[in-house]
């Protein structure tokens, strides 16, 4: 595989994870970094051992050697930065959400297609071996007709009223928080496994901490917080900590999911149940090496992540023998492996694209409308 030179814009929580995963592929050189100012850019570049440093996106995009750019900026910058990357003729890997709303995401899909660049979005849970195994079970008919899907995405990183992050600010994160941030992952994963699109939704959003105490100095996502009372200021909150969403698939099957960022003890639990006419499938991201398969007329099974036990479609995503755990960093590596292989070889590969990012923005828009109107809302793609 030929060498590909890449750059990253934004180095908060997820940016360094992208750098590490790309380097693990063996044929990607992350040669440049861009941050909001010179001081931050140089400090982050030193931490990540990246030689070229920029604090202006346009200057980075003028670097002729760079083929691929990772957009790991805050949500409010996604549309503009993605647009600039596409206009520069470079391949783009974006964090989600793709944009702030479905109108912006639709524009990005059209621009990327017209420019002919590789465009990818990080829906990481698609790339876990047992998620792939579950999808192939559905595709080959082992699950049967899909009856319903249920589940949740729960976290506790915003459990306390003193927990703070830029995602709490609608101008930076968007009108929806919990649904757009983690509910989008749940919807993408369940639609990917089932092969069905969500057709309509009925949603209720709830803000638990209507006032939060904002630190007077900036903190990175998931950073430890040891501050004194005088270091905070009260700020009103109007995005959701919690949401419950009922939905209908395009085949008439139904389901529901719950998201919460105020669930004590759940660190990052993306959990789904898929019920079919032949069996049911259950997967929990906090126990990623196990897929529960449920039956009516014979004993249930737990499929362990072991290449020798997986379907041929899932096997390439498991890189170590059974009993050697793989998780979040490996899912990100699997995602980038697919994208960079497409870039390096100029071939079609299966990975989540801007079109998938647009689908999730359409669902989020429908969820927000449903909450406002207290009615079922069709998802307009």
Distances (CA, A) of 379 to 130, 221, 364: 28, 31, 9
Query: With bands split at pLDDT 50, 70 and 90, how would you rate the model's confidence at 226?
Result: low
Residues of the chain with CATH 3.40.50.720: 4-124
Q: What is the pLDDT of residue 221?
A: 59
Q: What is the pLDDT of residue 302?
A: 98
Measured distance CA(197)–CA(194) in Å, rounded: 8
pLDDT tops 90 at residue 117: yes
For the chain, the C-alpha Rg in angstroms (whole number) is: 21
Characterize the bridge pairing of strands 119-121 and 211-215.
Answer: unpaired
- Residue 246, beta-bridge partner list: 202, 256
**Fold of the CATH domain 4-124:** Rossmann fold (3.40.50)
- Percent of the chain with pLDDT strictly greater than 70: 97
Query: With bands split at pLDDT 50, 70 and 90, how would you rate the model's confidence at 236?
Result: very high
Q: What is the pLDDT of residue 217?
A: 72
| Residue count (the chain) | 381
Q: Say which residues have a Cβ less than 8 Å from residue 279's Cβ, sequence separation at least 6.
A: 142, 143, 144, 293, 294, 295
Summarised one tens digit per residue, pLDDT across range 318-340 is: 999 999 999 999 999 999 999 99
pLDDT tops 80 at residue 230: no
Summarised one tens digit per residue, pLDDT across range 241-274 is: 999 999 999 999 999 999 999 999 999 999 999 9
Q: What is the pLDDT of residue 129?
A: 98
Summarised one tens digit per residue, pLDDT across range 33-90 is: 999 999 999 999 999 999 999 999 999 999 999 999 999 999 999 999 999 999 999 9
* Cis amide linkage into residue 155, ω under 30° from 0: no
Reply yes or no on domain 125-321+360-373 having CATH 3.30.360.10. yes
Rounded (to 5) percent helix, strand, coil in the chain = 35, 25, 40
Q: Are 94 and 121 in contact (CB under 8 A)?
A: yes
Q: What is the pLDDT of residue 224?
A: 54
Query: With bands split at pLDDT 50, 70 and 90, how would you rate the model's confidence at 231?
Result: confident
Residues of the chain with CATH 3.30.360.10: 125-321+360-373
pTM, rounded to two decimals: 0.94
Query: With bands split at pLDDT 50, 70 and 90, how would you rate the model's confidence at 225?
Result: low
Query: With bands split at pLDDT 50, 70 and 90, how would you rate the model's confidence at 288?
Result: very high
Measured distance CA(28)–CA(122) in Å, rounded: 17
Summarised one tens digit per residue, pLDDT across range 196-224 is: 999 999 999 999 999 999 987 766 555 55
């Amino acid at each position: 595989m030929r060498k590909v030179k890449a750059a990253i814009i934004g180095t908060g929580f997820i940016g360094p994870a992208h750098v590490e995963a790309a380097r693990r592929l063996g044929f990607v050189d992350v040669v440049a970094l861009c941050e909001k100012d010179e001081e931050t850019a140089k400090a982050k570049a030193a931490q990540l051992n990246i030689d070229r440093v920029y604090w202006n996106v346009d200057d980075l995009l003028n670097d002729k050697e760079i083929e691929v750019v990772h957009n790991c900026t805050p949500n409010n910058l996604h549309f503009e930065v993605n647009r600039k990357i596409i206009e520069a003729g470079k391949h783009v890997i974006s964090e989600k959400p793709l944009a702030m709303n479905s109108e912006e995401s639709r524009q990005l899909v059209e621009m990327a297609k017209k420019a002919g660049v590789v465009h990818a979005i990080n829906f990481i849970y698609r790339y876990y071996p047992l998620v792939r195994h579950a999808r192939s079970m559905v595709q080959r008919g082992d699950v049967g007709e899909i009856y319903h899907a249920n589940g949740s995405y729960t976290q506790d990183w915003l459990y306390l009223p003193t927990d703070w992050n830029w995602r709490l600010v609608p101008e930076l994160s968007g009108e929806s928080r919990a649904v757009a941030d983690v509910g989008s992952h749940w919807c993408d994963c369940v639609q990917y496994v089932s092969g069905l699109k969500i057709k309509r939704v009925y949603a209720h959003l709830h803000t638990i901490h209507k006032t939060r105490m904002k630190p007077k100095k900036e903190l990175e996502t998931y950073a430890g917080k040891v501050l004194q009372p005088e270091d905070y200021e009260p700020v009103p909150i109007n995005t959701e900590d919690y949401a419950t969403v009922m939905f209908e698939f395009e085949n008439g099957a139904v389901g529901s999911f719950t998201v919460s960022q105020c669930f004590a003890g759940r660190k990052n639990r993306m959990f789904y149940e898929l019920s079919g006419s032949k069996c049911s499938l259950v997967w929990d991201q906090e126990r990623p090496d196990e897929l529960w398969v449920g039956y009516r007329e014979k004993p249930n099974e737990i499929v362990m992540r072991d290449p020798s036990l997986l379907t041929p479609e899932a096997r390439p995503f498991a890189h170590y023998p059974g009993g050697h755990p793989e998780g979040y960093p490996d899912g990100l590596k699997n995602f980038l492996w697919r994208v960079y292989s497409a870039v390096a070889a100029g071939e079609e590969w299966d990975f989540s694209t801007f079109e998938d990012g647009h689908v999730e923005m359409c669902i989020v828009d429908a969820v927000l409308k449903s909450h406002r109107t207290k009615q079922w809302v069709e998802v307009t793609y």
